[in-house]
Structure 1
Amino acid sequence: MAREYAKHCPASPMKNSLLVTAAILLIIQAASCQRVRVETEVEAYPTESVDLRCQFVDGGNTKLTQVSWIWEPTEGQRDNIAVFHPTYGESFPESPFSGRVRFIKGTLTSPSITITSLKMADAGRYTCEYATYPSGNEQGTTNLVMLAKPKNSASPVVVQASTSGKPVVVAQCEAADSKPAATIKWMGAVGGTENTTSVKGPDGTVTVRSEYLIVPTPEDNGKEVTCIISQRTQDKPQTFPMKLAVEYPPTVSIVGYDNNWYIGRTDAVLTCQATGNPAPTTVTWTVMSGPMPDTVQINANKLIVRKVDEAVNTTFVCEVKNRLGVSKHQVTTAVIEQRKITAGPSTAGIIGGTIGVVLFLLAIVSAVIILVRKRKQNAVNGDGPPKHKPPPPVKAGSSTEMLNKPVTDSVLTETQPFSNVYYETSGEPVTDLDACDDDDDNTVGGGAANGGGPAVLEDSIQYADVDDTLNDEALPPYSDADDHHVDQPPSAAVARGESFVSAAMYV
C-alpha cells in the first residue's frame, strides 16, 4: 500500500527534508543505544530461572549515575523491578517479581539480573536503562519469551457401527497449555476427516484439540489411526497410534460340515464361529426338528456327533449373543449310507510331488542316454581323434615314389577302400640312408632307396592282385642317361652318403 500511495501522492521537498532529519536522529539514537549492550530475545520456561544481561560499553567521559530494570508486560505499562545506585546500593521496588529478582554482580557497568520461579505471566519487554551525564538516559531492551511445553494426549472413542451414514468422532487428540500453540495432524487408512479447535488460557497458553471423524463400520474395528503433535519446544513431533473401537452385533457362521456324514462315522464336528464387539457372551446350539439327539455332545461353540445315525439327519442352529444383539446361523446335515471316497488335499499334494520327481529323473536319464549315443556315433563316423599313429611321410616328387605308385589309380579307388592311414602333407621327410638292407635283391622297397618310407610297391602289387587287369599292365619304360630305353628301372643300390636323381620318365 505504501508503494501505491507513493505513486499517487509524490512527496514534497519539505517532506523529504523532514524524513532525512528523522533518519539522522534515529541513527544518532541507535549509535548511543549501542553502548547499552543487551540480548534481543531470551526464551524461558515456567518454574525455571533466566538471566537478563546488561553492560555499558565505551563510557569515555560519560558519567553513569544510576541503572534501572523496567518491565513492560503490555503496551503502555512500565514497572521498575530492580534499581542499582553506586552510593545507595540495590533496591527492589514492590512488583510481581518481589523476592524473585536479584543482581548478579551489582555494578554500574554490569547490572545483569536473575529472575527465578518464572511464570507464564512474566513474559514481556525488559529494559536496562542508564541515567548518564551529560547525554541523559540510555537503554537497551530484551524481549522475554515464555515457552510452555504442551501436555499431549490422545485416545480412541468407542462408537457403534453407523446405520445412518453420518460421520462420528472415533478418536481425539489434545495439546494442552502450550505456548506457542501446537499443531495437530492425522494419518489413517480409513479415509476420515478432522476437526481442530484452539482455546487461549489466562496466562497466555493455548490448548489445541482435534477430533477424527468417520462413518464407522464393523470392518473399521481395530484399524489404526495416528495423531501427530508438533510444537516449538519439542525436539521432534510426538505420535500417538490408536486402534479404533467400533462396536457391532455378532456375525455367525457354522463350519465343518463336509457332505460326508455316513452311517457309523464317529466324531463329526460342527464349529460355530462368531465375531462381534463386544465379544459374544453366549453360544447356544439347538435342533429345528426337536430335542438334541443323544449321540450329540455340546462343548462351548463346538457340536460333536459321537456316532452318526439317522437321528442327526436334521438342521442344527447356532445362536450367538452380545450386548448389542443376537445373530443365528444354521446348517442342514444329510446322512448317507456309505462313505464318499474323496482324495484329500494332502494325498493330491503327495501324488503331484511324486509325479514331478519321476518326470525330473526321467529327463536326466534321457539326457544321459542321448549324450552317450552321440559320442558313440561320433566314434563310428570318425569324427573323433585318430586312433593310430601315422607313418613317416613319403617325400613328394621323388623317383622312388613314382616307382612304388600303383599303375591304375582309378581301378584301385573303385575296388579297394581307402586306408585309415594318415599322411602329413607338410614338412621335410627324414631320410635314413643307414636303414638300407644289405640284401638289395630281396628288398622291393623301403630303406634308403625309398627315403625311409614303407614299401609302397608291395602294397601296389597287393592291390593289383584284386583286379586281374593290373597283371596285364606293364610298367612305363625308363631311359638311361643317353636317352636309351631300358626295361628295368635303375638300381636302387646307392652308395652310402651319396645322393641320386631319378632319370626322366616317359609317360
Structure 2
Amino acid sequence: MTLNGVLWPCLVFFPGSLAQRVRVEQEVVSYPGQTVTLRCQFPNPGETQLTQHSCETQRIRVSWIFEPTDADYPAKSPLSGRVSFVTDPPTLENPSIKIIEVKMTDEGRYICEYATYPSGNEQGVTSLIMLAKPKNLATTVRVNAGKTPVIVARCESSNGRPAATISWSTALNGNVTAPIETENPDNTFSVQSAYMLVPQPSDNGKDISCMVSHRTLTQPETFPMKLVVEYPPQVKIVGYDNNWYRGRTSAYLICQADGNPVPTTVTWRTLSGLMPEKVQVQENRLAVQNVDDTINTTFICEVKNSLGYGRDQISVFVREQPPPASNAGVIAGVILACFLAIALLGVLIYFLVFHNRRQQHGYRGTGKPAGAPYDSFTRLFGSAKSSKNGTGNNGNNNTPIYKGEVGLNEKTANLGMHPGGVALLETSHTHTAEDILLSREMDEVERKKFDELEEEDERYDHFGGGGPILQLRPHDDDLDDDMESQRDGSVISRTAVYV
C-alpha cells in the first residue's frame, strides 16, 4: 500500500492463530493523542527461510494484522495515514511499526506475522490498551426536609477507559443507588452514582464523601461534601427559670431559632396582644428591667425564613416573693461531715486496737518488755513513815502501799509479829496485785505468775517451823522500804534486808 510516496505495511483484517516464535511485547498501554510503537522481531531464524508476501503490487516480507476490540471490522483501516514502519526502509530483522495520534478506537490486538518456509507462518501478538483518564465530579443536591427518600448527593466519572468505580463514605443512614454506566462513541465510559436519604433538619451540614477509583489514578480521588437540607425555622424560648417575683431586676427571655435558609425576621408578642411597658425587645432578646404583675402573661416568639415560619411560647408566673433558699447544700454538708466523722472514728478505733494488741505482745508504756525484773507496774509496795521506836500504825514497822502510773493509792496491810521477832506480812487491802495487773491488761502468762506470788505469800503467812526466815530491818523515819516482786515469786527489798 503506497500513500504519498511512503511505504506502508500490509494490514489484513482477519484473525490468525499460529505458534508464536516471533518476539513482541504482550501489552502496550497508551493514551489518546500519543504516539505508540509496536515492536516485532524474528531472532535466530536458523534453517528457516523467509519468503516474500505480496500485498497488491509491493513485495514485502512481514504482514501486520489488526483485530479491533469490538467485533465490528471496518471496511477501511482506521489507521490509514497514522501508521508507518519504525525504520525506513523496513528490515526483516526489525519490522516494528508506530502509530501517531492514537485514538480510543485503535485499541485491539496487533499481530506481527512472518511468512516462513517450510514451517509456515510465525506470529507475535501485541495487545494495545487504550487508557483515558476520566473527569470526576461530585456535588450535593439542595433538598427540603421531608418523609420520603430523595437524592442528596451525586458523583460522576466521565470519559474514562476503562470504566471507573465509585464508592461512598458517610455516617448517614441512607442508600447508594446502582451505578449507571454509559459507553461513549469514542470507546470511553461514563459512570454515575447517587446517594439517597430521607432528609431531616438534623442532617443539614453532615459530612459525605465520594471516592472514584480508576486505573489511571495512583489512589482514589476523594470529594468531601456537606449535605444541604432546607427547613423552616425551629424556635425555642430560653431564660425563664420559674423564679420571676415582684421586684426582680434584669429578667430576660431569648428566642433561639435555627433554620435553612437563615431566618430573616424575629417577632415578639403576647397572647393578649399587648406588650407590657416594662418590656424591652432587642431582636431575639426580651428584657424586663423590673418585674411586676404586668409581666404575668404569655410571651410568643415567631421566626420566619423563605420556607415558612416557626414559633414558641412560654407563660410567665409572677410570684409574690422569691422562694425560700433551698437547704439542700446544708443537708449535703451535714451528710459529708457525718461521713468524715465516721471515717475518723474508724481510724481511731483501728489505731487503739492495733496499739492494744502491740502491748499484749510484750510492750508497755515504759517501753520495757513484759517480765522485766524491775517492771514499774510490778512495784507493789512503798515506804511508810515509822516511829522511832519501831512501831507504826497498828503496831507495824512497815506499811505496804502500791503506786500506779495513773494515780497514787495507798492501802494498809497488817504486819504481824511472829514469835521470835519474825515479821509476817499479811495483806488486808481489797485490791490485789493481780487486780492491778488485770487493769493494765496483762497477758495470761503474767497473771499466772502473780497467782503463784500470792500462793507464795500465803505459805509465808502460815509458816510454823524453825530456821532463819526473812527479817525486816527497821528503817529511819525518812527511809522508804521499796519492796519489789520478782519473776520467781520472791520479794526483794531495795533497802536493808538481812537473812
TM-score (norm 2): 0.63
**Shift in alpha-carbon separation, 1:236–1:342, aligned structure 2, 3 A:** farther
Counterpart position of 1:178: 160
Residues 294, 129 of structure 1: CA spacing in aligned structure 2 closer, same or farther, 3 A cutoff? same
* 1:285 matched to 2:285: no
Q: Whole-Å Cα distance in 1 between the matches of residues 342 and 74 of structure 2?
A: 100
Seq. identity, %:
46
Residue from 286, 298, 301 that aligns with 1:303: 286
- Following the alignment from structure 2 to structure 1, what is the Cα–Cα distance between the partners of residues 233 and 256? 10
Cross-structure match for 1:470: 463
1:110 alignment counterpart: 94
Q: Aligned equivalents of 1:46 and 1:316: distance in 2? A: 71
CA apart distance, 1:356 = 7.5
Which structure carries more helix by proportion? 1
Query: How far, CA to CA, are the matches of 2:82 and 2:126 in structure 1?
Result: 17
Say whether 1:194 aligns with 2:180. no
- Matched with 1:44 is 30
**Does the 8 A contact of 1:287 with 1:314 survive in 2?**
yes
Shift of 1:215: 2.8
In the alignment, structure 1 segments of 5+ residues that lack a partner are 1-28, 82-93, 392-414, 424-458, 476-507
C-alpha distance in structure 1 between counterparts of 2:150 and 2:189, whole Å: 26
In the alignment, what sits opposite 2:130? 146
Counting matched residue pairs gives 368
The CA distance in 2 between the partners of 1:245 and 1:135, in whole Å, is 72
Q: CA deviation at 1:104?
A: 10
Read off the aligned partner of 1:468 and give its amino acid letter: D
1:255 aligns with 2:238: yes
Q: 2:151 matched to which residue of 1?
A: 169
1:289-313 deviations in Å (ceiling 9; x for gaps)? 3443332222221111111122222
Tell me if structure 2 keeps the 8 A contact 1:181–1:205.
Answer: yes
Distance 1:318 1:460 in 2: 100
Unaligned segments of structure 2, at least 5 residues: 1-16, 53-60, 375-431, 446-451, 469-499
**Structure 1 residue 269, shift from structure 2 partner:** 0.9
One-letter code aligned to 1:55: Q
Amino acid at match of 2:189: V
Q: 1:246 to 1:296 in 2, by over 3 A?
A: same
SS at match of 2:324: coil
Amino acid at match of 2:307: L
For residues 202 and 433 of structure 2, the distance between their equivalents in structure 1, rounded to whole angstroms, comes to 95
CA displacement 1:154-202 (0-9 Å, x = unmatched): 111111122xx43221111111112222233345432335243111101
Matched, 1:365 2:344: yes
Q: Compared with structure 1, are the counterparts of its residues 380 and 126 closer, same or farther at alpha carbon in structure 2 (3 Å cutoff)? A: closer
Instruction: Provide the aligned C-alpha RMSD in A.
Output: 4.0
Q: Which one of 105, 108, 124 corresponds to residue 121 of structure 1?
A: 105
Q: How does 1:17-32 map to 2 (within 5 A)?
A: 30=18
Following the alignment from structure 2 to structure 1, what is the Cα–Cα distance between the partners of residues 466 and 101?
142
Note if 1:336 corresponds to 2:329.
no
Of 228, 231, 234, 2:214 maps to: 231
Q: For residue 142 of structure 1, report the CA deviation from its aligned partner.
A: 0.7
Q: Distance in 2 between matches of 1:340 and 1:379?
A: 58
- By how many angstroms is 1:272 displaced? 0.7
Q: 1:67 aligns with which of 41, 62, 67?
A: 62
Task: Give, in whole Å, the separation in 2 of the partners of 1:243 and 1:190.
Answer: 15
Secondary structure of the residue aligned to 1:60 is coil
Structure 2 Cα separation of the partners of residues 377 and 422 of structure 1? 15
Output the CA distance in 1 between the equivalents of 2:307 and 2:193: 29
Change over 3 Å in CA distance of 1:295–1:96 after alignment to 2: farther
Within 1, Cα distance between the matches of 2:83 and 2:156? 35
Residues 421 and 44 of structure 1: CA distance in aligned 2, closer, same or farther (over 3 Å) = closer
Q: CA deviation at 1:338?
A: 1.1
* Cα shift readout 1:33-82 (whole Å, capped 9, x = no counterpart): 4331112222223344433222112211334453344433355458789x
Output the TM-score relative to the length of structure 1. Answer: 0.62
